[in-house]
Amino acid sequence: HFLHVLVLPMAQLDRARLKAILDREEARFVAEHPKSAAMYAKAQESLLGGVPMHWMKRWEGRFPVFVKSGKGGRFEDVDGKSYIDFCLGDTGSMTGHSPAAVVAALQAQIPKGLTFMLPSEDAIWVANEMRKRFGLQYWQFTLSASDANRFAIRLCRHVTKRKYVLVYNWCYHGSVDESFAVIGADGKADYRPGQIGPPVHPSATTKVVEWNDVAALEAALAPGDVACVLAEPAMTNIGIIHPLPGYLDALRKLTKKYGTLLIIDETHTISAGPGGCTGEQGLKPDLITIGKPIGGGVPCGAYGFSAEVANLLEQHTINRDTCDTGGVGGTLAANVMSMAAMRATLEHVLTPALYKRNIPLAVRFTEGVEQVIREYGLPWMIKRLGCRAEYWMRPTAPVNGTEAVNAIDTDLDRYMHIFCLNRGILMTPFHNMALIAPDTTEADIDYHTKVFREAVHALYGPVGSAKL
């Protein structure tokens, strides 16, 4: 249901041809975006690197597209060019841009106040809805999934009195220090490339194992010093890597065996269904974290925990007089505007009906890409998780982070992204991911298939002509 794999003959890529076409596409991009170019030049005066957040430099082209407006599954840039948006804010706008129900809820709430440091009725409604969807009784709210993960980790350390967090090689869980770690040459946690200003060496806080490796997981948990495992139910930030049959069951059994709490991060895997993979597959984590789409684009996040974890928190009392300085919380967290947006999103947008509509479109997207791959005999493949799909430039599915990282072809990725961008399609910048919005159409999907075929044809020539 979730995995599509094609094992095909290995075609040889002409790197000189790739470079020539990539240079041509970049020149076209510059020529067609004079206003974005001018804004980027102006931004150099006051924005570091010309962007408001440094990772925005990762967009393809010699500068990022500057956005003017967006609605649903499309947006327009300052040069007046319209795009089908398959990136959707890397899941932050999975609801589509400015969904009507969320806009209405914000219009109703804004005149009545934005933040009070006090609870609202919406908070009760959202917590009850999250409990129904994910099966965990108690919930707290944040401004991001990063915060939710940080706070969940702190709570796990607090109740277990253990120092280590276990994460998976090449995972990503937002700006969480403990998760910026990879397996080093000595087998222990080491700095992930690109990490900025880590407070301590990762090995002081973190253990890292490969996804889908049960033996390595048990070896890391056996000493009894791991407070929690932080995991997506399918890796998504290094490409979609599904668990092998039985792996999630083993993860749950081993964490229970060694007294380690299990945190499932559903921030991206909410694409699988209204309750993410937890709801779809009946997972039983101790804690869940989530952010991005549950507010319809408004900054928010949440973490939930079981009654058992709540009991542990009561046993290891969080002092009322000092709980505001315990490292969990934030002045703007659970503000009434965010709570209104979350209620509207969960009640009216991220509904079972949306998934019933969108998942078949993701299947159509996947089948279109597979058809082109077969036509040209390419060593590529595509995988899907609910209404999320992603293609890889390798013939078989990676089973862990190392295999995924080794499959990255930076020049080929850049080419596919800018080729699509120049023809009005935005893919996710960090990988080749497409997400389906509530108003994405079959015509949008088929247009992507057409552009994908054109990109392959430009690179490899006529059908069947790829060098073997």
Contact 362, 442 (CB under 8 A): no
Write the DSSP assignment of 185-209 as a string of letters: TTSSEEEPTT--S-SS-GGGTEEEE
**Helix, strand, coil content of the chain in percent (nearest 5):** 45, 15, 40
Among the ranges given (93-102, 249-258, 303-312, 313-322), the one the predictor scored with the smallest mean pLDDT: 313-322
Per-residue pLDDT tens for 237-267? 999 999 999 999 999 999 999 999 999 999 9
Asked whether the predicted pLDDT for residue 323 surpasses 70, the reply is: yes
Torsion sign, CA atoms 196, 200, 205, 207: positive
Q: Which residues contact 83 (CB under 8 A, 6 or more apart)?
A: 65, 74, 75, 76, 77, 421, 424, 425, 426
Q: Is 246 helix (H, G, I), strand (E, B) or coil?
A: coil
Identify the CA nearest to 130 among candidates 252, 248, 335, 300.
300
State residue 11's pLDDT score.
Answer: 58
**Mean pLDDT within 93-114:** 98
Among the ranges given (209-223, 302-316, 345-359), the one the predictor scored with the smallest mean pLDDT: 302-316
**Mean pLDDT within 338-342:** 98
**Mean pLDDT within 385-414:** 95
Task: Tokens for 106, please give them.
Answer: 């914000």
**Mean pLDDT within 6-25:** 79
Write the DSSP assignment of 317-378 as a string of letters: ---TTTGGGSS---TTTT-HHHHHHHHHIIIIISSHHHHHHHHHHHHHHHHHHHHHHHHHT-
Write the DSSP assignment of 126-189 as a string of letters: HHHHHHHHH--SEEEEESSHHHHHHHHHHHHHHHH---EEEEETT---SS-GGGSEEE-TTSSE
Per-residue pLDDT tens for 189-201? 999 999 899 999 9
Q: β-strand 74-77 against 67-71: which pairing, if any?
A: antiparallel
Asked whether the predicted pLDDT for residue 9 surpasses 50, the reply is: no
State residue 60's pLDDT score.
Answer: 87
**Mean pLDDT within 378-390:** 97
Task: Tokens for 426, please give them.
Answer: 């935005």
Q: How far apart are CA 25 and CA 415, in angstroms?
A: 8
Identify the CA nearest to 434 among candidates 239, 145, 274.
239
State residue 76's pLDDT score.
Answer: 98
Q: How far apart are CA 318 and CA 313, in angstroms?
A: 7
Asked whether the predicted pLDDT for residue 6 surpasses 80, the reply is: no
| Residue 78 φ then ψ, to 5° | -70, -15
Buried residues in 227-246 as b, exposed as e (16+ CB within 10 A): bbbbbbbbbbbbbbbbbeee
Asked whether the predicted pLDDT for residue 1 surpasses 70, the reply is: no
Asked whether the predicted pLDDT for residue 219 surpasses 80, the reply is: yes
User: Please, which pLDDT band fits residue 345 given cuts at 50, 70 and 90?
Assistant: very high
Asked whether the predicted pLDDT for residue 173 surpasses 50, the reply is: yes
- Look up residue 255 and give its DSSP letter: H
Asked whether the predicted pLDDT for residue 467 surpasses 70, the reply is: no
Q: How open is the CA angle 144-147-148, to the nearest 5 degrees?
A: 90
Contact 79, 36 (CB under 8 A): yes
Question: Residue holding tokens 């997400």?
Answer: 435
